[in-house]
Chain A
């Protein structure tokens, strides 16, 4: 066996690939579902928190800041392990899917809150004054005037952050979520061959490369022209 044949046999073993492709595909489906859920709920929650913070109610704002800082500071893996292996001892049993969903959603929400808050504060005070001077209330001004501008500023960093967080669904492997990586490592141990891992890598590229390109496009598209 030549070096090249050995390489192919290790990473692109056709027998192993065809044998385990369906499992990896099942993992792709789990990863896609999880990612969509995390992105929708995480960004939604982060947006809501940033908007609540705009009311500058002291205790509420403080709670939001503490939440955002804590969840941005702790590595998600630590929280995943804590929740999955710790909570049952406290009588709370969550499935591995739910644990992964909760931890990554809250982590994304924490980052999203900070990104959108930065967007809100970047909107000129004159925008608030103009809207309020026409009799639009605080909430109306926030919703109709400030948020559209804040979200636009937030789109590029938000896309990057959403990609970074959804890639972390691979962390679910350590608690047995049947995602892409988990299926691949399982297949790798059964077959004693690294091809399933290569297939997983390819699946991740196919899944995330379009998003990375989208992020790059958004970044140039939404660089805000000041009026």
Chain B
């Protein structure tokens, strides 16, 4: 956690939708190989913050840096920087007309300009990383939700990103399928991937996160190691949120 340049740097990030201020100046740093977990009630701006990090949402002001390189700003080559930032969505968003391997290799072939054989070899590696090499030829409709999400992770991994963003990756899954996806995320952490995760998987946050950030009403309320956030939260809003969540 003492790298001179952090992996992802978010500085005074602001974003409004009409009159609603979704992000009221967010500062956030993710170090190399760190798994940072973002918690917060719905509407707290955590997904918006995440989506600003690869500019699926355009921030109103503030800076975002990836390994010191600007992500925000007019002169940025957005498609180039996005290849260095992997994203996993709540609803998987696999391409239904392509096989698992086709999903994983599309960007390799169309953006990286890899030949089909190179892209396929690379894509198979990525699918193997999520334990789905045997499903390469299957279409999304033929896969379970958990398998679909793992293919989506492989799709992002294939581009060898510097940081991975997870937007509630297990929220759309049946409970019994959540474990496989979390297992893949644990493996990624062991492999040294830098990850920023928005999720409600408290147990996973507790045992896998390096740091937990609690957001509310467009602000970072507090952050720290999971044992502190879950064990001895400083702020009333954090305590209230955690007790609400643990009741359910």
Q: Which of B79-87, B203-211, B217-225, B228-236 contacts A (4 or more CB under 8 A)?
A: B79-87
The reply to whether B89 and A130 form a contact with Cβ atoms under 8 Å apart is: yes
How far is A135 from B94 in the complex, measured between Cα atoms in Å? 15
User: 0/1 per residue, A166-207, Cβ < 8 Å to B?
Assistant: 000000000000000000000000000000000000000000
> Which residues on A sit within 8 Å (CB–CB) of B152?
130
> Which residues on A sit within 8 Å (CB–CB) of B92?
227
How far is A152 from B141 in the complex, measured between Cα atoms in Å? 15
In the assembled complex, A19 has its CB within 8 A of some CB on chain B = no
Nearest chain B CB to A35's CB is how many angstroms away?
A: 29
Within 8 A of B (CB), among A106-162: 124, 126-127, 129-137, 140, 144-145, 148-149, 152
The reply to whether A130 and B93 form a contact with Cβ atoms under 8 Å apart is: yes
The reply to whether A227 and B111 form a contact with Cβ atoms under 8 Å apart is: no
Nearest chain A CB to B189's CB is how many angstroms away?
A: 21
Within 8 A of A (CB), among B79-121: 79-80, 82-83, 85-87, 89, 91-97, 106-107, 110-111
Inter-chain residue pair count (beta carbon < 8 A): 74
Within 8 A of A (CB), among B49-91: 54, 56, 79-80, 82-83, 85-87, 89, 91
CB contact under 8 A between A134 and B82, given known A227-B141, A227-B148: yes
How far is A140 from B97 in the complex, measured between Cα atoms in Å? 15
In the assembled complex, A226 has its CB within 8 A of some CB on chain B = yes
> Which residues on A sit within 8 Å (CB–CB) of B159?
134-135
How far is A129 from B140 in the complex, measured between Cα atoms in Å? 17
**What total of chain B residues lie within 8 Å of the partner, measured CB to CB?**
29
The reply to whether A135 and B82 form a contact with Cβ atoms under 8 Å apart is: yes
Nearest chain A CB to B8's CB is how many angstroms away?
A: 15
> Which residues on A sit within 8 Å (CB–CB) of B140?
227
Nearest chain B CB to A124's CB is how many angstroms away?
A: 7
The reply to whether B111 and A135 form a contact with Cβ atoms under 8 Å apart is: yes
The reply to whether B93 and A134 form a contact with Cβ atoms under 8 Å apart is: no
The reply to whether A133 and B91 form a contact with Cβ atoms under 8 Å apart is: no
**What total of chain A residues lie within 8 Å of the partner, measured CB to CB?**
21
CB contact under 8 A between A140 and B110, given known A126-B89, A133-B54: yes
> Which residues on A sit within 8 Å (CB–CB) of B95?
127, 130-131, 145, 149
How far is A140 from B89 in the complex, measured between Cα atoms in Å? 20
Nearest chain B CB to A194's CB is how many angstroms away?
A: 50
The reply to whether A134 and B106 form a contact with Cβ atoms under 8 Å apart is: yes
> Which residues on A sit within 8 Å (CB–CB) of B86?
133
Nearest chain A CB to B130's CB is how many angstroms away?
A: 16
> Which residues on A sit within 8 Å (CB–CB) of B54?
133
The reply to whether B106 and A225 form a contact with Cβ atoms under 8 Å apart is: no
> Which residues on A sit within 8 Å (CB–CB) of B85?
133
The reply to whether A129 and B89 form a contact with Cβ atoms under 8 Å apart is: yes
> Which residues on B sit within 8 Å (CB–CB) of A130?
87, 89, 93-95, 152, 155
How far is A129 from B87 in the complex, measured between Cα atoms in Å? 9
How far is A149 from B96 in the complex, measured between Cα atoms in Å? 8
Closest to B159 in A: A134
> Which residues on B sit within 8 Å (CB–CB) of A152?
97
> Which residues on A sit within 8 Å (CB–CB) of B91?
124, 126
The reply to whether A129 and B155 form a contact with Cβ atoms under 8 Å apart is: no
Nearest chain A CB to B48's CB is how many angstroms away?
A: 13
In the assembled complex, B156 has its CB within 8 A of some CB on chain A = yes
- 10 tightest CB-CB pairs across the interface, nearest first? A130-B93, A135-B83, A134-B107, A126-B93, A227-B140, A133-B87, A227-B96, A135-B82, A135-B79, A148-B97
Can you list 10 pairs linking A and B with CB atoms under 8 Å apart? A126-B93, A133-B85, A133-B156, A134-B155, A134-B156, A134-B159, A135-B80, A144-B110, A145-B106, A226-B141
- Known pairs A134-B82, A134-B106, A144-B110. 5 more at Cβ < 8 A? A127-B95, A130-B95, A131-B106, A134-B107, A135-B107
